[in-house]
Amino acid sequence: MTELLAAMSLRQKIGQMIQAGFEGTEPNEAVTELIEKHHLGGVILFARNIGTLEQVASLNEGLQKSAERSGTLPLWISIDQEGGMVARITEGVALMPGNMAIAAGGSADASYRAAYVSGRELRALGINLNFAPVLDVNVNPDNPVIGVRSFGESPETVGRFGAAAIRGYQEANVVATAKHFPGHGDTNVDSHLDLPTITHSRDRIERVELAPFRRAIAGGVDAIMSSHIYFPAFESQKLPATLSHAVLTGLLRQELGYEGVIMTDCMEMQAISDHYGTIRAAVMAVEAGADTVLISHRYDLQVGAIEALVEAVESGRISEERIDESVKRLLVLKQRRGLLEGGEQHADRERVYLPIEQIGSAEHREVARRISEASITLVKDEQGLLPLLPAVKTLVISFEAAVSSFVDEAISMKATLGKALSAEGLSIEETVIPLAEAGGRLTEAVERAKSSEFGQIVIGTYNASLNPAQAQLVQAVQALGVKLVIVALRNPYDLRRFPEVSTYVAAYESRPLALSSAAKVLTGAIPATGKLPVTL
């Protein structure tokens, strides 16, 4: 490794410190130039890059061949495949439930199995780095960006389930990335949109936010991603963790003893770009102690960051020894994950390296099904409205899942709660309301609920705790005195907006598998065995 590092030019080394995103389902001119001219260390895939499984595998092979052709080291090919509501590849794979659903099922072994199966499928597609698991402790019900992406509100639970997931990914020979250090669970601002601040004392942060990361470090996590959040307890200047030497070097490296790779979250997020500028912040992040800078979208910013880092070294602002520290960590990790010769040799190599034809196998989908069904949580059923009566016509009102270019991307609504209930034998009429139209459709929905043809009504909410119009609908329908069942199809915190409802079920997500599992519970086909990982 020392010889390889010594043979690299400054530009080659700095290229290894950049991960970049690009448009399209095949290598375009921009990413090819980044690889071949700028010696790019890795790429990140989003839904915009995903078509069929065969296409994804071909894309990744093409990217790696571009690196090989130009003498660039093999690439990190990374993705946000957390499971549940945050997943870039949803078709053809065994899509696993998300963190809070897994924690609701109560088994840390399920967390391991979900990560291991997902990791094997990712590796079969040529993806070798996953930006997962989330280790944020979601203690703030109004958190707009973490929520069900967290294992819950208990530092011990988050640490235990997170450590199991890390072990699963890494045993599948995929880099696990614990995020978002030092913790994004107690914010009410989305760092994609602005710079959040966590004002808690050092002692409180040690007990809550840092506890899962300590456990991950003890378990040998490959990588840790920094958050774009300001922590005054650790940083005297108003700098987010990503740009804070006190946080990345002082806290993470020196105090916590972390020796692995530190990665930034995307530097185009507004918490960074609006306050510091992506290119300037790339240099600041490396000065703070980051090993890899993630720039997910714009080619001009990606090249600009590379040039700014080269200039920072040539001007003496950053020493080349500091660059060497990061590149050595990256090379060691590439070797460990089999990208460079001399990496780990698995005795059960045939078990770990999955043929593409076995992605989404019946065995893998069975793992996902069992975890999903174990997660569904009956919070209360005070009037004994469950199971739903099959002989009674049922009105289902549900809300479309969000579309976010930063986190969720497009959520397919081909599957709905009504369709899932119909598959279980119920007579269903369903109204699906786009979130943006929730207020405008209130009167229409209430009028439909008044109809005497419906003997029972099911409302599937989607982050109603953050969307007042949904809560107004629930309250208006409840006032009709009908038999009403509420199913939370994302954050379970929705109950805080209408605590008087008598029957409330938490499904944690609105992916097709979760809808099917919820429908089985609602109709009595399976028992509700999940337990809330958060307090309502």
Of 38, 39, 180, 192, which residue is the catalytic one?
192
Report the half-sphere exposure of 206 (CA within 13 A, side-chain side). Answer: 8
Cα separation, 95 vs 49, whole angstroms? 17
* Gap between the Cα atoms of 247 and 505, Å rounded: 40
Beta bridge partner(s), residue 457: 395, 484
CA dihedral 183, 186, 191, 194 (to 10 degrees): -140
The enclosing H or E element of 175 equals strand 175-181
Task: Name the residue ranges covered by the structural domains of the chain.
Answer: 16-343, 376-522
The one catalytic residue among 136, 265, 291, 494: 265
* Whole-angstrom distance, CA of residue 247 vs CA of residue 252: 6
Phi, psi of 404 (to 5 degrees): -135, 125
Question: What stretches of 309-435 adopt beta strand conformation (E)?
Answer: 377-381, 394-399, 428-433
With contact defined as beta carbons under 8 Å apart, do 189 and 196 qualify? yes
pLDDT at site 466:
86
End-to-end CA, the chain: 52
The token pair that represents 428 in the structure block? 């269903």
Query: CA 42 → CA 4, 73, 257, 293, distances in Å?
Result: 18, 9, 26, 10
The four Cα atoms 77, 29, 92, 522 give a dihedral, to 10 degrees, of 90
Q: Which is nearest to 155 in space by CA: 117, 208, 86?
A: 208
- Digit-by-digit pLDDT tens for the chain (536 residues) are 889 999 999 999 999 999 999 999 999 999 999 999 999 999 999 999 999 999 999 999 999 999 999 999 999 999 999 999 999 999 999 999 999 999 999 999 999 999 999 999 999 999 999 999 999 999 999 998 899 999 999 999 999 999 999 999 999 999 999 999 999 999 876 667 668 899 999 999 999 999 999 999 999 999 999 999 999 999 999 999 999 999 999 999 999 999 999 999 999 998 899 999 999 999 999 999 999 999 999 999 999 999 999 999 999 999 999 999 999 999 999 999 999 986 554 444 445 679 999 999 999 999 999 999 999 999 999 999 999 999 999 999 999 876 544 555 555 568 999 999 999 999 999 999 988 888 999 999 999 999 999 999 999 999 998 889 999 999 999 999 999 999 999 999 999 999 999 999 999 999 999 999 999 999 999 999 999 999 99
Whether 265 is catalytic: yes
Given this model, what pLDDT does residue 229 score? Answer: 94
Q: What are 455's two structure tokens?
A: 């003997």
Q: How many CB atoms lie within 10 A of CB 499?
A: 9
What 8-state DSSP symbol labels residue 357?
Answer: G
Name the CATH superfamily housing domain 16-343.
Glycoside hydrolase, family 3, N-terminal domain (3.20.20.300)
Q: Which fold has domain 376-522?
A: Rossmann fold (3.40.50)
Structure tokens at 477: 């329908």
Q: What CA–CA distance (Å, rounded) separates 339 from 37?
A: 20
User: Cβ of 317: how many Cβ atoms within 10 Å?
Assistant: 14
Q: How far apart are CA 211 and CA 195, in angstroms?
A: 23
Residue 277 exposure: Cα atoms within 13 Å on the Cβ side: 8
User: Using the 8-state DSSP alphabet, how is residue 127 labeled?
Assistant: -
Alpha carbon distance 234, 252 (integer Å): 11
- Residue 191 has a pLDDT of 63
pLDDT of residue 402: 60
184 is catalytic: no
Q: Are 271 and 194 in contact (CB under 8 A)?
A: yes
